[in-house]
Amino acid sequence: MCIGVGGSLDVISGLKQRAPGWIIKLNLEWLYRLIAEPSRFKRQLVLPRFVGLVIKSRFMGTKSK
């Protein structure tokens, strides 16, 4: 099992601050981080493609022999 901790380590180590409470309540902390760190934007663009590939492999996966 794998658990993605992402920016949590940065917050725990004190390198980054968490988003304001109202943003956290709206589940938009990822958007706050994206705006606060524009260098992350290019990496985030590949996520929809990755999700699409996962869905495609799940429903159109290879047939077992």
The model's pTM: 0.60
Given this model, what pLDDT does residue 30 score? 86
The pLDDT assigned to 63 comes to 57
Query: How far apart, in whole angstroms, are the C-alpha atoms of residue 21 and residue 2?
Result: 27
d(CA 33, CA 10) in angstroms, rounded, equals 12
Structure tokens at 53: 């590939």
d(CA 27, CA 53): 25
Note the pLDDT of residue 62.
59
Counting as low any pLDDT under 50, the low residues of the chain are 65
Domain residue ranges of the chain, discontinuous segments joined by +: 8-60
Residue 30 C-alpha from the chain's centroid: 7
Residue 22: what pLDDT? 97
